[in-house]
Amino acid sequence: MRSPTTPRSRPARRARRAFCAGAVTALALGGSVSGAPAAAAAPPDCTWSPRAQRVLDGLLTSADPRRDRLVPALRTALARCPAPRPYFQRADWLWEPIVTDPVLDPDSAGMVADLASGDEYIANIGDFGVTLVGPERITDRTPRFTVDPSQYGPTLRDVPIPEGTEIAPGSDGHLAVADPVTGTVFNFWIARPDGDGWTAAGGAATDLTGDGRETSGGTSTGSNIARFAAVVRISEIAQGVIPHALFFSTDMAAEGECRYPAAKTDGSNMAGVDHPIPEGSRIQLDPAVDVDALDASPAAEVIARALQTYGAYVGDNGGARIAFLFEYGPHDPVYRDAGLVGGFAPLDGIPWDRLRVLAAWDGTTGGGECAGAE
């Protein structure tokens, strides 16, 4: 029996806290623990609980034997009160968790070996972060502009951009605006204020309730995955849960090959690896990895859990081996407190050699085709 003065290990303490918090959360949401009856239906005011999701994510890799009693209850509760889809509601590829035992790409081992052999694994929160303008920031007083992309995309009219909108200073100039008035998401590449207006090199409009892919002309990313999709939000780091798949760029994106949800590719295998990865590929961190045991920052742990549950998509060429797209905010205290330091914040502690590459986004062998190379 453990002496009261013997310190618990970090994973043991977390497992105990997770069990206690999880039991309360599961019962509150209508689940059951140790044979207690579950509620028949969700209450009318049922809302998704980030706390319950955090507890479940932690228990899935916990060694605590009591996890078998709590995990089913939490899954039942979260199924009744699922995470919302606040945008791109038809983007199943973005919101659906990865299935158990997905079919892997035949070259998964080779691609993972190359993915794990790089020098940089970062969160782009600074120069190459994304300026996000959500629907809550658009009012009837928000100025509207016509933006005529100079390289890619049609003229986009009636684009609402609030005064004082700040764009990351890097060369990509990412901007994505979700307009609740027109039901449109405006996605831009190299967006800049210009006198009384705005300019951009690339742009595309997508349906706010659509599938999150740029398929009606224009582009803001190498893969035509909409710039507003799969970005890690500051609010998600604050709540400790990312309820969707991630987007990353890489220096080993395959040339002339892509897969759904990508609609094209700008891949060029800049690193010259033997096993480049097609844009649109979905990667997953092995669910057996014990995230609690990692020597990682709080933010890196949140990323790791999201990679286990939802994975991430190759969306663009980039200079790092893996660079996840984050909401622009290099000096935001939420990022700082979670251990994200600098504009290219390192994500140390995640075992990149424990990744795997799915054959298709939905875990089958035929999850949809890409339109082809750019």
pLDDT higher at 105 or 65: 105
Which among 366, 369, 371, 302 has a CA at the least distance from the CA of 102? 366
Question: Which residue type sits at 310?
Answer: Y
- Yes or no: say if 90 and 43 are a contact pair by the CB < 8 Å rule: no
Overall residue count recorded for the chain in this entry: 374
pLDDT at 15 over 80: no
pLDDT at 42 over 80: no
- Yes or no: say if 296 and 348 are a contact pair by the CB < 8 Å rule: yes
- Yes or no: say if 344 and 124 are a contact pair by the CB < 8 Å rule: yes
Residue with tokens 């995640």: 350
Question: If pLDDT is split at 50, 70 and 90, which confidence band does 50 have?
Answer: low
Question: Which residue type sits at 253?
Answer: A
pLDDT at 37 over 50: no
What is residue 7's DSSP assignment?
A: P
pLDDT higher at 48 or 101: 101
Give the H/E segment covering residue 241.
Answer: none
Q: What DSSP letter does each residue of 177-211 carry, written as one string?
A: EEETTTTEEEEEES-EEETTEEE-SEEEEEETTS-
pLDDT at 226 over 90: yes
- Yes or no: say if 77 and 306 are a contact pair by the CB < 8 Å rule: no
Written as six digits, the tokens of 191 are 């967006």
Mean pLDDT of 43-47: 58
Give the H/E segment covering residue 124.
Answer: strand 121-124
What is residue 103's DSSP assignment?
A: P
- Cα distances (Å, whole numbers) of residue 244 to 18, 22, 240: 22, 21, 13
SS3 assignment, position 242 = coil
What is the rounded average pLDDT for all residues in the chain? 87
CA 60/CA 204 separation, integer angstroms = 39
pLDDT tens sequence across 239-270: 999 999 999 999 999 999 999 999 999 999 99
Question: If pLDDT is split at 50, 70 and 90, which confidence band does 60 have?
Answer: low
Question: If pLDDT is split at 50, 70 and 90, which confidence band does 68 have?
Answer: confident
Residue with tokens 């209450």: 43
- Yes or no: say if 89 and 244 are a contact pair by the CB < 8 Å rule: no
- Which parts of 241-294 are beta strand (E)? 246-250, 253-258, 277-279, 282-285
CA 32/CA 28 separation, integer angstroms = 9
- Yes or no: say if 131 and 166 are a contact pair by the CB < 8 Å rule: yes
pLDDT tens sequence across 139-196: 999 999 999 999 999 999 999 999 999 999 999 999 999 999 999 999 999 999 999 9
Question: Which residue type sits at 20?
Answer: C
Rounded-to-10 torsion of CA 39, 40, 45, 51:
40
Share of the chain above pLDDT 90, in %: 74
SS3 assignment, position 305 = helix
Written as six digits, the tokens of 143 are 């100025």
Question: If pLDDT is split at 50, 70 and 90, which confidence band does 45 have?
Answer: low
Give pLDDT, residue 66.
Answer: 75
- Cα distances (Å, whole numbers) of residue 366 to 95, 98, 253, 276, 278: 18, 15, 20, 20, 15
Mean pLDDT of 105-122: 98
Question: If pLDDT is split at 50, 70 and 90, which confidence band does 224 have?
Answer: very high
Mean pLDDT of 293-315: 97
Q: How much is the pTM?
A: 0.82
Give pLDDT, residue 191.
Answer: 98
CA 91/CA 212 separation, integer angstroms = 6
Mean pLDDT of 276-289: 98
Mean pLDDT of 14-39: 42
Which among 247, 241, 218 has a CA at the least distance from the CA of 361? 247
Walk across the sheet containing 174-179 and list its strands. Answer: 130-133, 174-179, 184-189, 202-207
Question: If pLDDT is split at 50, 70 and 90, which confidence band does 23 have?
Answer: very low
Give pLDDT, residue 49.
Answer: 67
Question: If pLDDT is split at 50, 70 and 90, which confidence band does 89 have?
Answer: very high
pLDDT at 289 over 90: yes
- Yes or no: say if 89 and 54 are a contact pair by the CB < 8 Å rule: no
Share of the chain above pLDDT 70, in %: 81
pLDDT at 366 over 50: yes
